[in-house]
Structure 1
Amino acid sequence: MQYVPFTPYRRVLTLPRVRPSMALMFFARLPMTMTGVTLTLYVVSNLGHGYGAAGIVGAASTLGMALGAPLLGRSIDRYGLRPVVGVCGVTSTAFWIAVPHLSYAVLVVCALPAGFLSVPAGSLARQILAALVPAEQRRAAYSLDTILVEASFMIGPAAGIAAITSLSATVTLSGIGAIFGVTALLIFLLNPPIRNEDELAPIGSVRPPLRSWLSGRLLATLLVAAGTLFCLVGTEVATLAALRANGDVGWTGLVIVVMCAASMAGGIVHGAVKRSLPQGVLMLLLAVLVLPVGLADQPWWLLMLVLIPTNLLCAPTLAATTETVSTMAPPAVRGEAMGLQDASTRLGLALGSPVVGFAIDHSSPAWGFFAAGAGGLVLAAFGLLWTRRRRPAAVAPALAAAVRARR
């Protein structure tokens, strides 16, 4: 039978509740993509502080999200979706409506707990897909989810900038809070499943202990995920620095749109093919392709073209990460595992910007691309070496179990 490339996507989208759930989680992610640029512009333009001060607020919020993601995931596993989404929705709404009325010092203090209790839209979307989609179709589902993430990052920041520059900061930031509240309310009312019927644990069953599922291979996967985000955010910082240094800032929007479009195209191919590359190989290719970009950082159109190959691997790497985590984590702790994935990506984001920024400040934007790729390779190498080191130890118990089964 002839293989039709987009058949996997059609099969996923015809599954019950998949399309409305994906649409809902797309809109739930949109306000999150607006927060970074709008908060930065508010601190710089309205509060009169520098970009460094704005970065402190952003770092506090990111740290809060990284700390909160695993704990929120664990709470979802234990208490269900509605209590967590209700608390987080109220908190996020209240924080963003209050932001225009806070001083800088109070804003810094509130950013961390607000980040801690932000609605975990990313990990929720992945949990919902794991519950609605059979294991053999999840690569296409996670690829679609990653494509929608790229689309949200194409729309959200641009919409946020347009709103805060044409409207008042109070209206824009309060509007973001209102969107958080509405999407959280919709998630609460629709209450999409986080486990399918076959995965529901019997009443009174014991939760799997952390050491039974947080294996060396899973930790390695999370480390590779951190390296991926380190590389991606570092590439963005270096791209902006190169465009600014060469007087091409006006082309920034087009370059970023092409980068996102390349990532979406890669994600479409990754989800459509019968077999794809594993997460570690995809990440290594992504990082290696970034290393030489600085050799062709001008004019802007050449930089845009040489960024396409590495961005083709962005969505596939992120989708492969989610697929690997969902496969290795037991259903009873999937929320916590997805939260750990979120925490690892936040760690990569938090490390990538300052490290690559430091490299650019002390050399040139060209070396920023090298730092982004090299840093991602270092983190990925640690993860892959950890996997190889742990693999022999995991073979013996499996072999012993097989021998016992034969007896």
Structure 2
Amino acid sequence: MTGYRVVLRCGPAMAAGAATLLGRLPQGMYSVALLLLVQQATGSFGVAGAAVAAFAVGTALGAPLLGRAADRVGPRPVLLGAVLAHAAGLAGVLTAAAADAAAGIVAAGLLAGMGVPPLAAVLRTVWTRLFPDPDARRAAFSVDAVLGEAVFLLGPLLVGGIVAVADPTAAVAVAAGLAVTGVVWFALLPTARPAVAAGRAAGSPARLGALAVPAIRVLVTVQTLLFAAFGLVEVGVLARATAAGAVPVGGVLLAVWSAASLTGALAWGARAWPGRPEGQLVVLLVLAALGIAATVPAGDLRWLGAALIPAGLAIAPAGVVGQGIVAEAVPEARRTEAFAWLSTAAMAGSSAGTLGAGWLVEATGPATVLAVAGGMTLVAAATTATARPTLRQTGR
């Protein structure tokens, strides 16, 4: 618990974490809020789905570009500029929705997504500077994992509460207000001052930027595979609950999975674990693969929930270890972009997994979807094992 004590007693870290949590909370709100808003305005789930997809694509495209800019000029101007573009895009969505202009809705959604401020990537970079000690850094990244889980647990609940007393337009407006407030709060903190003198001295980043670092290319590949597997698991679990005639239980099972991941993050940050990070990552991915594989024969939903627990326990720690590898493998001048690439990989993988799972579950059933998810996680583990020498390299 020493690492947690160091983190929790660090005032600048806690202020940055709180501001980031407020600014990231909308990311757990937008998929539901935009879907409800556009469907209500146009009467079409197709247009609504296209708007949400455009937002996700924009976020995936914009994250590494904004991360690279933050490395070069510092986070403050990039975050403030991004959130202005983000708010303008959301205003465009509201305007186009009021006019029932489908093309305008999708275009504005893409702009809003590209402007999503890279708060998570910036926070991780800040924490690598604040916590050079490995124990404290591991605890800090574990706290970050908890914040990420909180965003996607609280966001939909907040949207549901707002829609119950108002409408989806209010939910989108509240989300935009939270994003602006969180970014401005973070920008006013001393930790938002540019800390990129090394990046300027080294000159402009190469065309590949952080992807020029071999370890990042490996981690992006692993992250994409892993989150594609997660997208498959979500659809597979919901499909199995639907087939059992217990649709609401599917949501409960996914909540159990998320809770296990959150618990794993807290446990991982509480103590030092044996082995090097790249070896730890292999073990965690294998454990996640075995847990997902155990869901395949689980016909009873209670057994399915039990199998999701060990799978979930390994997920967040794997992310924590991956972030630690980034901190060691990438020079500080490119670190925000590197963290942003992991976010892009996660979003791309999750979207692809969900899309593929929708087709696969109709063609073959939930068991195949879950089996493919376990296989993809095992491929991610094998990729990591093969690339251990690459992941061991340091950028310092």
Q: TM-score, normalised by structure 1?
A: 0.86
Match of 2:198 in 1: 201
Counterpart in the other structure of 1:140: 139
Instruction: Please name the residue that 2:224 is paired with.
Output: 226
- How far off is 1:315 after superposition? 0.9
Question: Residue type matched to 2:248 in 1?
Answer: G
Kept in 2: contact 1:297–1:303 (CA 8 A): yes
| 1:302-381 to 2 correspondences below 5 Å | 302-381=303-382
Gaps of 5+ in 1: 1-5, 395-407
Partner SS state of residue 33, structure 2: helix
Q: Distance in 2 between matches of 1:180 and 1:212?
A: 27
Residue of structure 2 equivalent to 1:38: 33
CA RMSD after TM alignment? 2.6
- Describe the superposition over 1:180-211 as per-residue Cα deviations: whole angstroms up to 9, x where unpaired: 22112212222524776xx7428644356467
Give matches, 1:5-404, under 5 Å.
Answer: 6-50=1-45, 52-102=46-96, 103-136=101-134, 137-193=136-192, 200-201=197-198, 204-207=201-204, 209=206, 214-275=212-273, 278-299=280-301, 301-387=302-388
Taking a change above 3 Å as real, the CA distance of residues 159 and 295 of structure 1, as seen in their structure-2 partners, is same
Q: Could you say if the C-alpha distance between residues 208 and 337 of structure 1 is closer, same or farther in structure 2, counting changes exceeding 3 Å?
A: same
1:293 aligned counterpart, secondary structure: coil
Looking at structure 2, the residues matched to 138 and 45 of structure 1 have their Cα atoms a distance apart, in angstroms, of 45
Q: Could you tell me how far 1:135 is from its partner in structure 2?
A: 4.0
Q: Deviations over 1:328-385 (max 9, x none)?
A: 1101111221122222212211211112222111111222211222233334534543
How far 1:257 sits from its partner (Å)?
A: 2.7
Distance 1:22 1:328 in 2: 23
User: What is the alpha-carbon distance in structure 1 between the residues aligned to residue 37 and residue 193 of structure 2?
Assistant: 36
Do the aligned partners of 1:220 and 1:384 also contact (CA within 8 Å) in 2? Answer: no
1:353 maps to amino acid? T
CA distances 1:291-329 after superposition (whole Å, capped 9, x unpaired): 230321433x33222211100111101111111111111
Give the percent of matched residue pairs that are identical in Structure 1 and Structure 2: 28
Write the distance in 2 (CA, Å) between the matches of 1:391 and 1:295.
35
1:216 and 1:158 map into 2 onto residues whose CA distance is 40
Distance 1:274 1:249 in 2: 40
Quick one: distance in 2 between partners of 1:141 and 1:391?
21
Moved segments of 4+, more than 6 Å: 210-213
Pair 1:321–1:194, CA change in 2 (3 A): farther
Q: Which runs of 5+ in 2 are unaligned?
A: none
Query: C-alpha distance in 1, partners of 2:49/2:341?
Result: 24
Amino acid at match of 2:159: G
Contact 1:195 1:331 in 2 (8 A): no
Aligned length: 384
- How far off its partner does 1:122 sit? 1.7
Secondary structure of the structure 2 residue equivalent to 1:326: helix
Amino acid across the alignment from 1:280: V
One-letter amino acid of the counterpart of residue 290, structure 1: I
Question: Is 1:95–1:177's contact at 8 Å kept on the other side of the alignment?
Answer: no
Q: Is the 8 A contact 1:286 1:314 kept in 2?
A: yes
Distance in 1 (alpha carbons) for counterparts of 2:188 and 2:109: 27
